[in-house]
Structure 1
């Protein structure tokens, strides 16, 4: 576990899911194809419902996707720096955030995240799970909430990465939920309760988790 200052690194751009499809391992391809197919099916049904607004344009969808990725990328980069520091010679570079969920636990904001990253040695894309939280900042006025951390000139919060690990195929061997991650978010968790701290089944009855409003941009990745 190490501390990292939250902040987005330069040199990363948000690729579209469709652009990445041919580069993904087979299990991820099938998962993404199913998601895109279901999304299009929902939109076709919407066209026949006069009480429902028309489906968003592809331009709007892509803009929302980029906004979501921009919000998530600092957390992903903090997690991947933690992984790379512990795996010299086996480093990865961020490809794309997938989904995240967060709660307040022990006075801090905790995140569970899935993302894709590319191996620098093999060029293959892998899915990762990460659990991280942020130290609360103390100012003259007292505790600074997460929402208050966003504007300048407040100092950047410090991330504590508990876990960052590869989710290997076959993907259906992993749980899609925990005590605070909804199954619909499709955040795949490492096997074994002790692989992550917050929301694990063993301690879920003793942990008092405070749900946070989940920031979602457009349709979630599933």
Structure 2
């Protein structure tokens, strides 16, 4: 029996569920995934009972209960430092923490204007000015990281916490056919071809279309 349970909402729509699942897999944690939809009142009540902040993902590992993606990643980094969530170099490590935190707390316009939907494809999608500023900031972050650390991931040859945080944005870039710099387009393709992302996407395609992303995902 798996040693842990990760509660998520939707694979197709939930960006935070994806991030939580990625860090658990990157850490090599033995866990099972519990899928809860937020569409009905009873399930919303269950989610509220499970997690006082009414947020998914939520990880239960023995007696440990932790929610919020960054909190889960910090916990896993403590028990599985070999997972390599953060670069060994102190300067790069600070940089990684900073851009992961920026994604965690920012880009509200991008989230609301371009909601995650792995099944959808939109061409000529109108992107409003507020979201354009967020997109340009992501492009700047990605281009700078690839130039400084030589890729193909943000901090070098292997995925880090930052890649788990920025992976859902790469799906949005594909869904809405967002124009990107050459480096950011290559990074998007690298992330979408990441075996963990391909596994998640395959499960998302099997998910019922009527599942809706929880309000707080934006």
User: What TM-score results when the alignment is normalised by the length of structure 2?
Assistant: 0.24
Q: Higher helix share goes to which structure?
A: 2
Q: Which structure carries more relative contact order (alpha carbon 8 Å, separation 6+)?
A: 2
Structure showing greater Rg: 1
Q: Higher strand share goes to which structure?
A: 1
